[in-house]
Chains A and B, each alone.
Chain A
Amino acid sequence: MFAYWQNFFRKHGAALSVFLLASVGFWIFMMILLPQAFMLDFSLRANVPPPKWGSDAHHYTAEHYRYMLYGSAQSVDSYNFVDLSVFARTIVAAIFVTLIDLALCYPVAYYLAHAATGGWRRLMVLSLIVPFWVNELLRAFAFKIMFGGNGIINNALLWLGVIDQPYDFIRNSVALYSGLSYAYILLMIFPIYNAVESLDRNQIEAARDLGSPWWRIHKRVVIPHAKPGITSGCTMVFMLTAGALAAPQILGGPSSLWFTQIIYQAFNQAGNWARGSAYAIILLVVCILFVLLMMRVFKVKLGEIAR
């Protein structure tokens, strides 16, 4: 071990070695690991006002996790249906949004990679990026205008005679799901595009020459090859959707909450930082479990997901 560090210092020189070690150490410990550990610690303590933090009143307790489950710190008679249902809906909706994005992006990515050519392809790839340089909040705002009571979609539907009363897209969460699907679509399309593009076109031709119908070419040749890209896209979209805050705040109906909004309320309205931390830990654990599940099911490495 000592020899390793000696070698390390010799190889980089003292100044550079110290810089490397200090910056990476600061990043790993002060920015990544310790803050999470402190948050876990904080979530396991009683909710007391800041001046009492660290005193005896700030003892360890699991009350915030119990609250998430039962709705009260003491009794276990009934479940906390409000928070639990919001949590369940957030997860289910995030999966739903991920599937929509996958269904939208796979054909487009395949088309871009193997059907479009030259200048057109360049232009299309470039124009994919442009909408995502616009702020997430502004995109949500555009959806709010579009889906509003007298927004363009309602006007168009009224004009076409599909509906005779404006449909409340916001209250029925249609606006929210479209906005969320839109928000992270780039993170689905680029990994799939990169993966599909690296596929040798001859493989597709060979399959076709051997008489395989188009859907079987996708099933047997393209999708297996694009699997790391698909996994990466699905994971990123799920994580970002489940952890989204801006779009649900703007597009969410009056009766539908997102789990991050409950965390936000615990911090900014209820002033209960401990409970907010506990809920944040729950969100974090679910996200870690999801990544592990994706890695296990699709047999990919973490390095292939995040890039």
Chain B
Amino acid sequence: MTPRFILTAERVRNGFAALFVLGFFAYLFGPLIIMGVTAFNSSAFPRMSPFECFTVEWFDVLANDAKLVEGLRNSLFIGVGVVLLAVPLGLSGALMLTQVKERVRPWYYTIVISPILVPGVVLGISTLLFWDRIGTMFGASRDSIFYDGFFLTIIGQATFISAYTMLVFISRLQRFDVSQEEAALDLGATHVQTFRKILLPFLKPAILSAAVLAFLASFENYNTTVFTIVSESTLTTFLAGKVRHGINPSISALAVIIVVITLLGAALHEVLKRREAAAEKETARIAAGELARRRRVKPFALEPAVLLIALVFVAGLGSAYFAGTIGVEECKAQVKAEKIRQAQERTRQREAKAMFQNAPAASEAAGQQIQSTDKSERAGVSQFQGIFDVGNLKDQAGADDGGDGAAQQSPLGTENFNPIFAPQNLSPPIDSSGDNRNDNRSDGDNRNDNRGGDQ
């Protein structure tokens, strides 16, 4: 007999806890999913709905952005520089911690750990000012190293990233058996030999993870970099400018690439960890005499999990590429035709209504409006974006084809046009301002028509 399910307070609580955790993870991944979807939507403004056509064109836009590629190159260069500086600094900081006197140790630790707790903005500013003054002291010229964005950024970032790497080394050093070092010295090894043959091999995994950590922290950094980079640009400063001045889905495409690389890295890291664990187990079994000798270890690339990951990656890439390039133009044409049809439909309805009210005034004014909007195309587009954004969600895509500038809504546009399409205003206004509103409306539709015809 199966036990009956009894609803206890404990179970209710556990249910709520599970729901809470589920909600938490939805909050964590929601933004990533949204970026993932917008990266493949052909709509020029990054959005989830309406989903128009599945496309990979934004990845193209991304790859062809020369400034972005330059920022990326600079970021990689700075990242390598930070690794080369922060790993040795963190290592000596950690080694020094074991050497300084008991009395000095808390002070020493406070000083070297403090960069983690200091705001990045402050570190950037102080680095910039300090090297500027040093440069002035030596009478260095303005294009010497003291004013160089790369040099300043590497130094500024390494200030706190060294503290991160130091923490990695400290936790590894805590497990170091000093008697190994003493044994080597007793057997006649020199200090340098002991360091190279005993301590460094022991620290090798920590060096690797510190290097990865340093590189990622540098690659990510914005707060410090924005002050120290001076006239150069990195990926983050480029992105900041781009995101502030109007957004388009190629930024989402970049996020998708980063997420995919992250997932790949995480999966491979997991496989590596399992292999290490298996190897350790084997060592233990050999020591216990259960196993005669070590089994041959498969090369990493032939591990089934790795092959599976590679397969999934390639398949995903391939299907995204084909789905995103084949038939996209047809789909777009369809969406456009649909929009034109809807716009015409609306125009007809409205014209009918306008005719019903006071036809002559309306059509005359509409004619003038068309001319004026043609002159100020960009402004016009952003205004209509404003209209469609708010009131009439089905139609908004019509304005999208206009360009990415449309992302920034002009307050004027929203004020004027907003209420027309709002649901409560759909019935034609009978009051005196009715004419004016009708003009605006048909004007908007005409723009859509023109656009459809041009392309």
**Closest Cβ neighbor of A189 among chain B residues:** B24
Partner of B389, one of A150, A239, A303: A150
Task: Using A23-B88, A239-B119 as known contacts, say yes or no to A149 and B129 having CB atoms under 8 A apart.
Answer: no
Q: Is the CB of A142 within 8 A of B129?
A: no
Interface string of B9-27 (1 = CB under 8 A from A): 0000110011011001101
Partner of B96, one of A24, A53, A164, A273: A24
Interface string of A156-193 (1 = CB under 8 A from B): 00100000111000000000000000100100000000
Q: How far is the CA of A188 from the CA of B192 in the complex (A)?
A: 41
CB contacts (< 8 Å) of A288 on chain B: these are 117
Q: CB of A126 within 8 A of chain B?
A: yes
CB contacts (< 8 Å) of A16 on chain B: these are 191-192, 195
- At the interface with chain B, which of A68-76, A195-203, A220-228, A259-267? A259-267
Partner of A150, one of B20, B158, B226, B396: B396
Partner of A165, one of B92, B126, B130, B422: B422
Task: Using A28-B111, A287-B118, A291-B117 as known contacts, say yes or no to A145 and B46 having CB atoms under 8 A apart.
Answer: yes
Min distance, Cβ A36 to any Cβ of chain B, angstroms: 5
CB contacts (< 8 Å) of A135 on chain B: these are 220, 222, 235-236, 239, 255, 258
Min distance, Cβ A38 to any Cβ of chain B, angstroms: 5
Task: Using A140-B243, A249-B240 as known contacts, say yes or no to A39 and B130 having CB atoms under 8 A apart.
Answer: yes
Partner of A283, one of B28, B47, B119, B226: B119
Q: CB of A20 within 8 A of chain B?
A: yes
Q: CB of B31 within 8 A of chain A?
A: yes
- At the interface with chain A, which of B32-40, B325-333, B373-381? B32-40
Q: CB of A210 within 8 A of chain B?
A: no
- At the interface with chain B, which of A5-13, A59-67, A80-88? A5-13
Q: How far is the CA of A31 from the CA of B86 in the complex (A)?
A: 12
Partner of A145, one of B47, B89, B109: B47
Min distance, Cβ B104 to any Cβ of chain A, angstroms: 10
Min distance, Cβ A9 to any Cβ of chain B, angstroms: 10
Q: CB of A138 within 8 A of chain B?
A: yes
Task: Using A134-B259, A246-B240 as known contacts, say yes or no to A149 and B390 having CB atoms under 8 A apart.
Answer: yes
CB contacts (< 8 Å) of A32 on chain B: these are 111-112, 114-115, 159
Q: How far is the CA of A39 from the CA of B156 in the complex (A)?
A: 14
Q: Is the CB of A137 within 8 A of B191?
A: no
Q: How far is the CA of A124 from the CA of B155 in the complex (A)?
A: 36
Q: CB of B444 within 8 A of chain A?
A: no
Q: Is the CB of B14 within 8 A of A303?
A: no
Q: Is the CB of A145 within 8 A of B236?
A: no
CB contacts (< 8 Å) of B112 on chain A: these are 24, 27-28, 32
Q: How far is the CA of A138 from the CA of B249 in the complex (A)?
A: 11
Q: Is the CB of B21 within 8 A of A245?
A: no
Min distance, Cβ B44 to any Cβ of chain A, angstroms: 13
CB contacts (< 8 Å) of B25 on chain A: these are 124, 127
Q: CB of B223 within 8 A of chain A?
A: yes
Q: How far is the CA of A85 from the CA of B101 in the complex (A)?
A: 46
Partner of A11, one of B48, B129, B133, B191: B191
Q: Is the CB of A150 within 8 A of B111?
A: no
Q: Is the CB of B136 within 8 A of A243?
A: no
Task: Using A152-B48, A182-B31 as known contacts, say yes or no to A287 and B167 having CB atoms under 8 A apart.
Answer: no
**Closest Cβ neighbor of A260 among chain B residues:** B121
Min distance, Cβ A145 to any Cβ of chain B, angstroms: 5
CB contacts (< 8 Å) of B259 on chain A: these are 130, 133-134
Partner of B118, one of A13, A137, A284: A284
In chain A, positions 25-57 with a C-beta closer than 8 Å to chain B are: 26-28, 30-36, 38-39, 42, 50, 53-54
Q: Is the CB of A246 within 8 A of B222?
A: yes
Min distance, Cβ A140 to any Cβ of chain B, angstroms: 7
In chain B, positions 251-272 with a C-beta closer than 8 Å to chain A are: 251-252, 254-255, 258-259, 262-263, 265-266, 270
CB contacts (< 8 Å) of B20 on chain A: these are 107-108, 111
Partner of B35, one of A33, A129, A138, A149: A138
Partner of B191, one of A13, A243, A244, A276: A13
User: In this complex, which of B111, B125, B158 has the most chain A Cβ atoms within 10 angstroms of its Cβ?
Assistant: B125
Partner of A243, one of B47, B120, B424: B120
Give the number of residues in B that approach A within 8 Å (Cβ atoms). Answer: 95
Q: CB of B416 within 8 A of chain A?
A: no
**Closest Cβ neighbor of A19 among chain B residues:** B92
Q: How far is the CA of A287 from the CA of B13 in the complex (A)?
A: 38
CB contacts (< 8 Å) of A30 on chain B: these are 130
**Closest Cβ neighbor of B25 among chain A residues:** A127
Partner of A280, one of B110, B125, B396: B125
CB contacts (< 8 Å) of B13 on chain A: these are 214
Interface string of A192-220 (1 = CB under 8 A from B): 00000000000000000000001000000
Task: Using A134-B258, A145-B35 as known contacts, say yes or no to A12 and B129 having CB atoms under 8 A apart.
Answer: no
Partner of A115, one of B14, B120, B123, B422: B14
CB contacts (< 8 Å) of A145 on chain B: these are 34-35, 38, 46-48, 247, 252
In chain A, positions 109-132 with a C-beta closer than 8 Å to chain B are: 111-112, 115, 124, 126-131
CB contacts (< 8 Å) of B59 on chain A: these are none
Q: Is the CB of B191 within 8 A of A4?
A: no
Q: How far is the CA of A141 from the CA of B88 in the complex (A)?
A: 35
Q: CB of B363 within 8 A of chain A?
A: no
Q: Is the CB of B117 within 8 A of A280?
A: no
Q: How far is the CA of A214 from the CA of B13 in the complex (A)?
A: 10
Q: How far is the CA of A159 from the CA of B259 in the complex (A)?
A: 30
**Closest Cβ neighbor of B185 among chain A residues:** A11
Min distance, Cβ B414 to any Cβ of chain A, angstroms: 8
Please give me the 9 A-B residue pairs with the lowest Cβ-Cβ distance, nearest first.
Answer: A243-B119, A13-B191, A142-B31, A35-B126, A35-B130, A39-B126, A133-B262, A23-B92, A31-B159
23 residue pairs from A and B, CB less than 8 Å apart: A12-B195, A13-B191, A13-B192, A15-B192, A20-B95, A36-B122, A42-B133, A53-B133, A104-B27, A129-B266, A136-B220, A137-B243, A138-B255, A141-B247, A142-B31, A142-B35, A144-B247, A250-B240, A280-B126, A283-B121, A287-B119, A303-B113, A305-B117
Interface residues of A (CB under 8 A from B): 4, 8, 11-13, 15-16, 19-20, 23-24, 26-28, 30-36, 38-39, 42, 50, 53-54, 104, 107-108, 111-112, 115, 124, 126-131, 133-146, 148-152, 155, 158, 164-166, 182, 185, 214, 235-236, 239-240, 242-246, 249-250, 260, 263-264, 267, 273, 276-277, 280-281, 283-284, 287-288, 291, 302-303, 305-307
Interface residues of B (CB under 8 A from A): 13-14, 17-18, 20-21, 24-25, 27-32, 34-35, 38, 46-49, 88-89, 92-93, 95-96, 99, 101, 106, 109-123, 125-127, 129-130, 132-133, 136, 155, 158-159, 162-163, 167, 190-192, 195, 216, 220, 222-223, 226-227, 235-236, 239-240, 243-244, 247, 251-252, 254-255, 258-259, 262-263, 265-266, 270, 389-390, 393, 396, 409, 422-424
